[in-house]
Amino acid sequence: MSILKEKKILLGITAGIAAYKTASLVRLFIKLGAEVKVIMTPASKNFITPLTLSTLSKNPVHSTFYSKEDENELWNNHVDLGLWADYMLIAPATANTLSKMANGTCDNLLLATYLSSKCPVYFAPAMDLDMYKHPSSIESLNKLQSFDNILIPATSGELASGLIGEGRMAEPEDIVSFIEKDISSKLPLKGKKVLVTAGPTYEAIDPVRFIGNHSSGKMGFAIASAAANLGAEVFLISGPSNQQIKHSLVHRVDVVSAEEMYDASHMYFKDVDIAILSAAVADYKPKNSASEKIKKTDTALELSLSPTKDILASLGAIKKQQYLVGFALETNNEIENAKGKLKRKNLDAIILNSLQDKGAGFANDTNKITIIDKELNEKAFKLKSKVAVAKDIMNEIVNRTKKQDE
């Protein structure tokens, strides 16, 4: 999965011959799961049509503040466009637009949006050889980078003039790759390893029956995805679950029983920086599991149960540099019970959710949590989707581990 999945990209197109490549650029972003909106300078329409770009992006293309032909049309708000974007890309960026960006000239919608943007701004210059090497162009490039804008260098090749040299806009595939690598290199968990456990465990009674619970694994899978999106290499140890995950940084390890999850967790724990144990591990297992299916009779079946190994406590007992997070699903005395578990198992934080809260707990697509750290500070969150909850959890962990490292 690309780091650009579900990201909002605002593409600014200026009046250079390389504008024809932006059709491919939009398609690549869409293919990677990004949402794209396009702003064109009026003159750029001579090189590619708004119809092409609106069709590919599935969004209206903006070019002017309002339509002179339609006096009832709403004003295109450059501030809203700038705030909407997670990333802004100006490609091609002509010498004229670069100079205006560098000097704060604001004479069209694209430049007004650029000046209003709060997100990282990438720009891909495109101009002829002598223009690219002109001192004024070099000054614009340097000035824009001093504003923390990110240059996607032009390449050498055949130019529109027929000359061969530097000034050719980078190819769409290379632009996308550059942005992905740049974003990844700046992610807060880049170079970190995270262990996540998810789902239930099944404890065999016989070959066809088991003791288990209703955990779907949705919360743990969402956490694994959120951690990977922050740049971490993730080891996801999952009990039986129908959940799927596709991310190049997530390594899925499937287990069935608590014993198998215990062994897998200990195998990976020593090498990770963060461990988040969200799995609903069975507390008990049959003392003796039958090798053949137990036949039904008219008499009562009695099972003798023995406790499973406590994975969280065992990791808390051996943890060194790891930041260890547990989960507590409670039905009464929630805060007190969660704090007790936090202390007993030597955790750095615990995520509390209560079955008393509507929309929280097993199988739901939503969850409502309270995070308690080892200083017993509490932070409660509203009911949210499990994807949003996972992002909250990871952001809190990033902030807390950052403070520990300072």
Strands 370-373 and 323-330 turn out to be unpaired
User: Of these residues, 59, 77, 213, 364, which one is catalytic?
Assistant: 213
Torsion angles phi and psi, residue 58, rounded to 5: 60, 30
Strands 87-93 and 61-62 turn out to be unpaired
Could you confirm whether 213 is annotated as catalytic? yes
- The count of C-alpha atoms lying within 13 angstroms of the C-alpha of 317, restricted to the half-sphere facing its C-beta, is 6
Could you give the CA distance from residue 382 to residue 343 in angstroms, rounded to a whole number? 25
Radius of gyration (C-alpha) of the chain in whole angstroms: 27
Could you give the CA distance from residue 352 to residue 213 in angstroms, rounded to a whole number? 18
Q: Are 21 and 170 in contact (CB under 8 A)?
A: no
Transcribe 333-393 into DSSP letters.
SHHHHHHHHHHHTT-SEEEEEETTSTT-STT-SEE--EEEETT--EEE---EEHHHHHHHH
Could you give the CA distance from residue 306 to residue 203 in angstroms, rounded to a whole number? 11
Residues annotated as catalytic are 213
